Structure 1
């Protein structure tokens, strides 16, 4: 069973179907689609439900893990953080936060606690993180994690070629 993880201000917990409407509300903001690789616009409740349905199998396969980011104080869901790929010690970190929660340090806090937990429990030894070129907020999070920049590359995402900056380090 996927364990919840706590940090100073946050709880990382598995998503449930009851989160779908909130996920759609937050991820459905056009700014989220513009700053992430895999979230389309518009993002419907059905899209959220389909995404949430994939989480259990991913976790049980041992190839990845997805968490809801929740404010400890209010239990309010504010975003998601994951290792959509976690194999042979290499974790590819991904995250998004609802726009009202940008700039509060939540992505950095969630990333640090998930990385630490994953070293102990999931065999994480190497970390890869990417952000779309121009996403300065995500770049700032990654720099605070101490992951080394290795270069830019073009990835095909949502039917378009998009430039991403790639960072890789020992975890």
Structure 2
């Protein structure tokens, strides 16, 4: 199964390729990205990007995960990522990150909305979950705009430390 591109009004979501590894390292390597996410380590080194990208094709083919590079239409350089790092039984937890220069422009919302629509139509997505660190109010805004209902506050282990998170879950 070939992973198709997804177009939105301003964005092209496309599969990552190994040529993106340096840009992933540059953007995801900023400490604030690690501070605002549970899954991006700091420091973020180039081999991590290479290893991460190498998993995407087989995950998509097996329909166990979907990961897309976020690009602006007309510019192939990645500006972030949007994904369902796990898909199982029609349920997935949405994840995304953007390089700092692209924050506050509605891009994360547009990318997530496009990915959700694609996965609902083509991969049988029925339920979307979302989790964000409580202090990450930008992610909270994205999730609320997507209309995913708040479920509860929890404590999750993030890099060995218990961190407060907000959990959301709803039908698509």
TM-score (norm 2): 0.97
* 1:67 corresponds to: 68
For 1:3-152, list aligned pairs within 5 A. Answer: 3-152=4-153
How far the C-alpha of 1:35 sits from its partner, in A, is: 0.2
Structure 1: give runs of 5+ residues left out of the alignment: none
How far the C-alpha of 1:96 sits from its partner, in A, is: 0.3
Rounded to whole Å, the distance in 2 between the matches of 1:156 and 1:20 is 27
SS of 1:95's partner is: strand
| Alpha carbons 1:70, 1:78 under 8 Å: kept | yes
Indicate the larger mover: 66-75 or 140-149.
Answer: 66-75
How far the C-alpha of 1:127 sits from its partner, in A, is: 0.6
Rounded to whole Å, the distance in 2 between the matches of 1:115 and 1:154 is 26
Q: Runs of 4 or more off by more than 6 Å in structure 1?
A: none
Rounded to whole Å, the distance in 2 between the matches of 1:66 and 1:159 is 25
How far the C-alpha of 1:164 sits from its partner, in A, is: 1.0
How far the C-alpha of 1:157 sits from its partner, in A, is: 2.1
Query: 1:123-152: per-residue Cα shift (whole Å, max 9, x none)?
Result: 011110011011000000000000000111
Query: How many residue pairs end up in the alignment?
Result: 171
C-alpha RMSD of the superposition? 0.8
How far the C-alpha of 1:58 sits from its partner, in A, is: 1.3
How far the C-alpha of 1:76 sits from its partner, in A, is: 2.4
How far the C-alpha of 1:57 sits from its partner, in A, is: 2.0
* 1:166 corresponds to: 167
| Alpha carbons 1:66, 1:80 under 8 Å: kept | yes
Rounded to whole Å, the distance in 2 between the matches of 1:49 and 1:120 is 30
Rounded to whole Å, the distance in 1 between the matches of 2:76 and 2:40 is 24
Indicate the larger mover: 125-134 or 54-63.
Answer: 54-63
How far the C-alpha of 1:74 sits from its partner, in A, is: 2.1
